[in-house]
């Protein structure tokens, strides 16, 4: 590889709010790059730790003007956008986006494009999504700007779509009737190795303009990948029966029902698994040497992903990608409601818990922590959404007790968070209208707090009105119970924190009274257990 220049490299990352882009940006910053990101909604970066360290340009790949602005003065452009779950003629949309990027990069004098596509066999019968990825690579390679087009297979990492599909299929099903593609060969790659190659691509010689296959050291059947996960997760290996009657369409419906992956994502993933996706060449080794210690094995990649999940340290997730068909518009301010039909459900409850205690419960809602009211009703609503192709209730949350703007929370998305006082969630279940849920923690004069909860619904047509009135009888049970139990949980948590503080204070007193400190040997033994 060539040596880095002494001045900071100016880098543009498209897809910075996505799974790979959201991990690449902080690593580019750590490497000393001057980073700019092009995003449709800068609000999604509100709580991202690195947001203050990058130049944010609002726009998208379909807007040549915003692309021209974002590409000015850039040395390396990363193309990390793919319309995985898009409907309609997404291939045409992808072609236009790639042409726009190629034109903008050439006009701005960009010296390198780095693109991440997919491994695929050499055939004329590729699935639409694999075909589209390959075509985007060809357009960029023909741009006149030196391009490295990586072709990667299944990416394994905490929060990746492929890993989550494997995880949920294996966790849920003790016996798996599966499509015949479980016998196909896959060459997975750890997300850490994908990031290694993306970072190193900025330094390849200027005359390199070609595709490179990248993959991990293991070539496995898809069924072996599921059972490899089972072993790392402490589960029994799953008997797998390959059934020829399970067409890609039927298989995608099955995946939609038993995993959090919505149908819009399951269909292209399943379609892509109809082929053996393995490396056809290893030319990358002559341009970018393997990482120190070698590429990550599949089992180790799974182990690392599970460890990240246990630690609540999932950096980015497939969940935070935009959901097809879901409302993406923010809630209008109350004065803007004039002239619109809006339904609201208001609940409030006074509690002796301090606002900070109440907020901890609010921010940790959802996922494994539940919704504090009528679990069966929430579960049924989630299954109904899955049946019609929605996201369902099982997407969970990225972090067990902390949220940030743009995070997914089951079938909601965090639209706004004023940490310590206010949370607004936007519904992403399929409903005939637009829906939000707000929760507030407000202090009272006596040191307690008031919990305020507001559900807001903008109906669409007659169906929206009928939907609201059909669920209205359940609001008294679900939303009233939710307000009651959230405040009860806040009071219980406050009592627990108070008790733990008292015990800790007692421990400090005992130590001060002469309790001998731990010996180094004792401390070391405790650290190893």
Higher pLDDT, 222 or 208: 208
**Confidence tier at 506 by pLDDT (50, 70, 90):** low
Q: What is the per-residue pLDDT for 502? A: 62
Q: What is the per-residue pLDDT for 398? A: 84
pTM flag (> 0.95): no
Write out the E strands in 29-118. 34-39, 55-58, 76-79, 112-118
Higher pLDDT, 28 or 237: 28
User: Which of the given ranges, 351-360, 490-499, 517-526, has the highest pLDDT on average?
Assistant: 351-360
User: How many other C-beta atoms lie within 10 A of the C-beta of residue 476?
Assistant: 11
Distance CA 228, CA 220 (A): 10
**Confidence tier at 78 by pLDDT (50, 70, 90):** very high
Question: What is the CA angle 30-34-36, rounded to 5?
Answer: 110
Q: What is the per-residue pLDDT for 190? A: 96
pLDDT at 1 over 80: no
Cβ neighbours of residue 13 under 8 Å, at least 6 residues apart?
21, 24, 25, 28, 35, 36, 37, 38, 78, 80
Least confident of 108-112, 380-384, 437-441, 473-477: 380-384
Q: What is the per-residue pLDDT for 318? A: 65
Q: What is the per-residue pLDDT for 462? A: 81
What confidence tens digit (pLDDT) does each residue in 215-266 have?
999 999 988 998 999 999 999 888 887 776 666 667 777 777 777 777 777 7
Q: What is the per-residue pLDDT for 195? A: 97
Distance CA 30, CA 86 (A): 33
Copy the structure tokens of residue 220.
């496995």
- Cα–Cα nearest to 73, from 163, 16, 9: 9
Cβ neighbours of residue 338 under 8 Å, at least 6 residues apart?
none
Please report which residue ranges of 260-311 form alpha helices under DSSP H.
263-272, 284-287, 298-310
Residue range 390-418: mean pLDDT, rounded: 84
User: Which of the given ranges, 5-19, 76-90, 295-309, has the highest pLDDT on average?
Assistant: 295-309
What confidence tens digit (pLDDT) does each residue in 140-168 have?
999 999 999 999 989 999 888 888 888 88
**Confidence tier at 112 by pLDDT (50, 70, 90):** very high
Q: What is the per-residue pLDDT for 517? A: 46
Distance CA 170, CA 178 (A): 11
**Confidence tier at 121 by pLDDT (50, 70, 90):** confident
pLDDT at 515 over 70: no
Distance CA 26, CA 40 (A): 19
pLDDT at 466 over 70: yes
In DSSP notation, 183-245 reads GSEE--EEHHHHHHHHHHHTTS-TT--EEEEE--S--EEHHHHHHHHHHHTT-PPPPEEEETT
CB 220, CB 185: distance < 8 Å: yes
Residue 86 vs residues 15, 273, 490, 528: alpha-carbon distances, Å: 15, 18, 41, 49
What confidence tens digit (pLDDT) does each residue in 96-107 have?
999 999 999 999
Q: What is the per-residue pLDDT for 528? A: 31
SS3 state of residue 10: strand
**Confidence tier at 272 by pLDDT (50, 70, 90):** confident
Buried b (16+ CB within 10 A) or exposed e, 222-242: bbbbbbbbbebeeeeebebeb
Q: What is the per-residue pLDDT for 425? A: 93
Residue range 388-416: mean pLDDT, rounded: 82
What confidence tens digit (pLDDT) does each residue in 388-399 have?
666 666 677 888
In which residue are the tokens 């050439």 written?
Answer: 106
Q: What is the per-residue pLDDT for 265? A: 74
Residue range 471-492: mean pLDDT, rounded: 87
In DSSP notation, 314-365 reads ----GGGSPPTTS--SPPPPGGGGTTS--EEEEEEEEESS-HHHHHHHHHT-
pLDDT at 440 over 70: yes
CB 121, CB 277: distance < 8 Å: yes
Higher pLDDT, 331 or 458: 458
Residue range 458-473: mean pLDDT, rounded: 82
pLDDT at 518 over 70: no
pLDDT at 356 over 80: yes
Could you give the maximum distance between any two Cα atoms of the chain, in Å? 80
What confidence tens digit (pLDDT) does each residue in 44-56 have?
888 888 999 999 9
**Confidence tier at 201 by pLDDT (50, 70, 90):** very high
């Amino acid at each position: 590889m060539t040596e880095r220049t002494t001045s900071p490299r100016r880098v543009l990352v498209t897809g910075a709010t996505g799974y790979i882009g959201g991990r690449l940006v902080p690593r580019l910053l750590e490497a000393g790059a001057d980073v700019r990101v092009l995003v449709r909604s800068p609000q999604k970066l509100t709580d991202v730790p690195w947001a203050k360290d990058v130049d944010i340009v609002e726009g998208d790949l379909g807007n040549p003007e915003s692309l021209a602005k974002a590409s000015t003065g850039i040395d390396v452009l990363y193309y990390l956008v793919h319309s995985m779950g898009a409907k309609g003629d997404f291939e045409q949309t992808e072609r236009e986006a790639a042409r726009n990027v190629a034109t903008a990069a050439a006009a701005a004098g960009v010296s390198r494009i780095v693109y991440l596509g997919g491994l695929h066999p050499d055939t004329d019968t590729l699935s639409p999504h694999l075909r589209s990825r390959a075509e985007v690579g060809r357009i960029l390679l023909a741009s006149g700007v030196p391009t490295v087009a990586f072709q990667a297979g299944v990416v394994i990492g905490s929060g990746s779509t492929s890993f989550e599909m494997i995880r949920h299929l294996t966790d849920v099903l003790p016996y798996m009737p599966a499509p015949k593609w479980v016998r196909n060969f896959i060459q997975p790659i750890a997300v850490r190795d994908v990031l290694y190659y993306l970072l190193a691509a900025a330094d390849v010689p200027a005359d390199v303009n070609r595709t490179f296959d990248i993959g991990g050291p293991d070539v496995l059947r898809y069924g072996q990948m599921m059972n490899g996960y089972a072993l790392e997760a402490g589960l029994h290996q799953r008997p797998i029966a390959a059934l020829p009657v399970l067409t890609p369409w039927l298989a995608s419906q099955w995946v939609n029902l038993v995993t959090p992956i919505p149908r819009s994502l399951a269909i292209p993933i399943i379609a892509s698994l109809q082929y053996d996706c393995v490396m056809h060449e290893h030319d990358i080794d002559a341009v970018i040497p393997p990482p120190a210690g070698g590429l990550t094995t599949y089992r180790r990649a799974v182990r690392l992903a599970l460890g990240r999940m246990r630690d609540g340290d999932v950096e980015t997730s497939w969940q935070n990608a935009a959901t097809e068909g879901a409302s993406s518009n923010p809630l209008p301010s109350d004065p803007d409601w004039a002239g619109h039909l809006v339904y609201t459900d208001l609940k409030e409850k006074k509690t002796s818990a301090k606002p900070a205690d109440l907020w901890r419960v609010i921010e940790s809602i959802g996922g494994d922590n539940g919704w504090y009211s009528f679990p069966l009703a929430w579960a049924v609503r989630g299954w109904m959404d899955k049946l019609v192709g929605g996201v369902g209730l099982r997407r969970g949350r990225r972090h067990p007790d902390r949220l940030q703007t743009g995070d997914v929370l089951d079938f909601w998305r965090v639209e706004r968070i004023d940490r310590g006082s206010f949370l607004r969630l936007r519904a992403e279940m399929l409903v005939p209208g637009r829906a939000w849920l707000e929760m507030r923690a407000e202090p009272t004069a006596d040191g307690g707090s008031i919990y305020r909860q507001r559900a807001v619904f903008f109906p669409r047509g007659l169906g929206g009105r009928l939907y609201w009135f059909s669920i209205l009888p359940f609001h008294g049970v679900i939303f009233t119970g939710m307000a009651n139990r959230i405040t009860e949980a806040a009071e219980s948590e406050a009592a627990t924190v108070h008790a733990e503080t008292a015990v800790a204070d007692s421990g400090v007193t005992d130590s001060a009274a002469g309790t001998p400190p731990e010996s180094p040997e004792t401390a070391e033994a405790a650290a190893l257990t």
